[in-house]
Structure 1
């Protein structure tokens, strides 16, 4: 089930708009996840050199997802996209254990940004189908999330290519947004 079908099921106030920032290291699966959310083909995906934006309108809800490239040279530009973010989705390659320290450093820097203060964080633990994939609990521990008290967060195991776990993650996002007042009026 794609994001459009999920949004049709959710009840929301009319004319609401959400800004979702989709970040993570290169090769984590951000663009694959975004294409899956938009119910697009995921067979041929190239590394994002700048950013992708997808908007979906359903049941009076406009969801704007900003997918920013994760290459080291692009990361300093992430802060240009922080304004008015309602939800941060951070994608991790669960099988790339060599980069857990790097991803923790990047996530910690994001969580210290004043423009992202209090913004709920959904971490998609992607590539769960690979043999070396870390569990959600292991990722929570490695990233130091269990001590985070200043915002809501969730680690959602997923396989972005197959769409497995994506719906559950987005349901968590919509639950958090609805509990906080449901986005911004257009």
Structure 2
């Protein structure tokens, strides 16, 4: 009996969870992906299309799709939505002028049928920069408290140092088993 339980447990623990990493261009999406993967900063250029990597945290497998954020690419984000369990929205905490666009994109995604069960992690990136907005300010501006039909969490971070990224992954890992 124990062997059957162990096999079942390993099957469920090794299940892959699809994650899409989205945000406006230059928010830090690719830098975050490669911090997760290699724990180091990788020189990046604007992503055309997507990058995909598997990240394993405590036996939880996340298949992470980093999707280009340039304006011309955002209309194709929905081609990645099928079977997505987690959305990571990366926000540049210094980019006050385009926060309205991030908000529009977030609510457009949340309204999409394929994402109705997805949990949302918002990374308030670039917290190391002078005059950046705090996670609380970004949360208020994005009216995150009005999101009732999706689990969500906002996390301050710095993609260059990795600060805050583990806490975001821990939040996702704690929800992966509940999905």
TM-score w.r.t. the length of structure 1 is: 0.86
1:54 aligns with 2:53: yes
User: Structure 1: any 5+ residue segments left out of the alignment?
Assistant: 1-10, 181-186
1:41 CA drift (Å): 3.9
Distance 1:28 1:13, change over 3 A: same
1:113 aligns with 2:112: yes
1:154 CA drift (Å): 0.6
CA contact (8 A) 1:12 1:59 kept: no
2: CA distance, partners of 1:71 / 1:99: 12
Q: Which has the larger radius of gyration?
A: 2
- Give the 4+ runs in structure 1 shifted more than 4 A: 57-60
CA RMSD of aligned residues (A): 1.7
Distance 1:144 1:44, change over 3 A: same
Distance 1:40 1:91, change over 3 A: same
CA contact (8 A) 1:53 1:67 kept: yes
Pairs within 5 Å for 1:154-169 = 154-169=153-168
1:57 CA drift (Å): 4.7
Pairs within 5 Å for 1:62-77 = 62-77=61-76
| Higher helix residue share | 2
Instruction: Select between 171-180 and 149-158 the one with higher mean Cα deviation.
Output: 171-180
Distance 1:12 1:98, change over 3 A: farther
1:43 CA drift (Å): 4.0
